[in-house]
Amino acid sequence: MPQIDTLKPLATLFAALLFAVGLGGAAPVQAQDGSSPVLSVPSVEAEAGSGVDVPVEATGFNNVGAASLTITYDPSVVSFANGADTESPISGAPDGFQANVVEPGELRVNFFDQTGENPINFGTGTLFTVNFGSFEGGTSPVAFGADSQVNDPNRNALGTTFEDGAVSGQVGAVTAGTVEGAGLNQTVSVPLSADSIGNVGAASFEVEFDESVLAFEGVSGDESGLALQGDAEGGVVSIGGTDTDGATLEGEFVDLEFRFLGGSSEVTFAGGSEIVDATSSSTEIATNFSGGEVAGDSPTLSFPDRGVTAGDTISVPVQTTELQAIGSASVVVDFNPASLTFVGSEESLEGFQVGSPESGVVNVSGTSTEGADPSANGGRFANLQFTVESGLDPGETTPVGFDRAASEITNPDAERTLAYNTAFEDGQVQSTQTVPTLSVPSVEAEAGSGVDVPVEATDFNNVGAASLTITYDPGVVS
């Protein structure tokens, strides 16, 4: 038997033993930068009778001490030039990667850092390319096996996400649009578009979004021919429809309607998205899905920094930025009562009240059925007034901030009350009071005459009492 036939099973067995002895049993952890790796295979279009290269893309592929990947495919659709005897089924891999065709339909790719001190920090890009020698036509999934795993140098699984692709004579593309400049509490439309995917019998799309930024309202402008219907739960819009005669998805074929709550959110397709051929319900049309984004107003409440002196009464505005159409607000303000004493408020936004239910806390609350706009009040909710206590020493600071967990601002829609994605920015009150200085200058005098010696003062303010002792030489002056 040729030597290479013996080495391939041994290499596969060695990798399997490594993972069985410890690499595979560890609980998943995150990478050092707090993220987890993603390995994905795109859907690739190919011409029958030719070879085809399929990239394996990596994101956040760092601190990797070992990897054992199983990649499956349909050997009647794609194959390697020399089958199981193919010496180089992949190309472009980092040093230390080994690959072999275990049997038709299964490719194994392994990496192991035997030193335990030189993990791969690849980052993002094409980790390697699978080089199929022949494509016979049709469609073949190119998928990661359930036993695929990536580990750190300590044999802990890195919780890698694996995303499958395909090789096909026809590869479609579906894209979610991008919306910029969205207005707070406005409805935004995110179009889904395709590049002419024909003979579609059914389609199912799962679109993920940030629920703190967007609230799903429905689908509109359906030109797919599939009678698409959709609903959302847990930050995922599920849309589906069918056409037994075979529809064509081309251009913008449906809009996803969202209420915009502030900030920005990616709009991406989840792994459950698929398009099925009308001729055979079991035949999936290979499709690449690309996400978009919605961004616009970023509603913010903030306090400015203030310079003060002990005994001052100061006015601290509750400032707003890109915040309008307020239906209700419940804002909790925290401060240190040893440094500040709340004494009242002024210039409050109409319909909103300010109160202090306990020491160190101020509540700003109220409602507006029409939707209040702070820009009509100089961009403020209110001006909070505090007395600065003597316990705030010169140079010291004390915060005036928000209790974020207890604060909420909503839209004015009574039928569907939604919380805005509001950012809260704290402020600082700093004592700029300086220490009084008293000084006596040197004075020139004539012997035998009287002399006036001034006592100079600097920053001699807010003084309630003073006791000074001045010494002199009675043999010189008297």
Please determine, for residue 9, whether its predicted confidence score (pLDDT) is greater than 80: no
Model confidence at 109, pLDDT cuts 50, 70, 90, reads: very high
The CA dihedral of 380, 383, 384, 388, to the nearest 10 degrees, is 120
Mean pLDDT over each residue of the chain, to the nearest integer: 89
pLDDT reported for residue 226:
97
For residues 436-452, give the mean pLDDT. 86
Euclidean distance between CA atoms 326 and 419, whole angstroms? 10
Please determine, for residue 188, whether its predicted confidence score (pLDDT) is greater than 80: yes
Please determine, for residue 21, whether its predicted confidence score (pLDDT) is greater than 50: no
pLDDT reported for residue 311:
85
pLDDT reported for residue 22:
42
Q: What is the DSSP string of 222-241?
A: --SSS--EEEEETTEEEEEE
Please determine, for residue 30, whether its predicted confidence score (pLDDT) is greater than 60: no
pLDDT reported for residue 433:
60
For residues 211-221, give the mean pLDDT. 97
Please determine, for residue 10, whether its predicted confidence score (pLDDT) is greater than 80: no
Euclidean distance between CA atoms 310 and 327, whole angstroms? 38
Please determine, for residue 408, whether its predicted confidence score (pLDDT) is greater than 90: yes
Euclidean distance between CA atoms 399 and 339, whole angstroms? 10
8-state DSSP, 19: I
Please determine, for residue 85, whether its predicted confidence score (pLDDT) is greater than 70: yes
pLDDT reported for residue 223:
96
For residues 19-30, give the mean pLDDT. 45
330: Cβ contacts below 8 Å, ≥ 6 apart: 363, 364, 365, 406, 407, 408, 409
> Contact at 8 Å (CB) between 77 and 66?
no
Which of the pair, 1 or 339, is modelled with greater confidence?
Answer: 339
Please give the C-alpha separations between residue 225 and each of 196, 201, 242, in angstroms, as whole numbers: 13, 10, 8
pTM (predicted TM-score): 0.72
Model confidence at 16, pLDDT cuts 50, 70, 90, reads: very low
> Contact at 8 Å (CB) between 380 and 302?
no
Model confidence at 61, pLDDT cuts 50, 70, 90, reads: very high
**Residue 372: beta bridge partners?**
326
Residue 5, H or E segment: helix 3-18
pLDDT per residue as tens digits for the range 285-321:
889 999 999 999 999 999 999 988 888 899 999 999 9
pLDDT per residue as tens digits for the range 350-380:
999 999 999 999 999 999 999 999 999 999 9
β-strands 98-103, 134-135 pairing: unpaired
Q: Rounded to the nearest 5°, which phi and psi values hold at 342?
A: -75, 130
Euclidean distance between CA atoms 149 and 111, whole angstroms? 11
Residue with tokens 């699984």: 157
Model confidence at 203, pLDDT cuts 50, 70, 90, reads: very high
Please determine, for residue 26, whether its predicted confidence score (pLDDT) is greater than 70: no
pLDDT reported for residue 12:
40
Retrieve residue 236's tokens.
């995922």
Least confident of 53-67, 343-357, 403-417, 449-463: 449-463
What one-letter code names the amino acid at 42? P
Please determine, for residue 135, whether its predicted confidence score (pLDDT) is greater than 50: yes
Euclidean distance between CA atoms 275 and 277, whole angstroms? 7
> Contact at 8 Å (CB) between 259 and 185?
yes
Model confidence at 338, pLDDT cuts 50, 70, 90, reads: very high
β-strands 397-402, 352-358 pairing: unpaired
9: Cβ contacts below 8 Å, ≥ 6 apart: none
Pick from 205, 190, 192: which is nearest to 258 by CA?
A: 190
For residues 228-236, give the mean pLDDT. 96
Class of residue 331 by CB neighbours under 10 A (exposed 0-12, middle 13-18, buried 19+): buried
Residue with tokens 């903030």: 302
Least confident of 110-119, 326-335, 376-385: 110-119
pLDDT reported for residue 28:
52
End-to-end CA gap in the chain: 121
How many percent of the chain have pLDDT more than 90? Answer: 70
Retrieve residue 397's tokens.
């600071």
Euclidean distance between CA atoms 326 and 397, whole angstroms? 32
The neighbour count for residue 38, using CB atoms within 10 Å, is: 15
Pick from 249, 47, 2, 235: which is nearest to 137 by CA?
A: 47
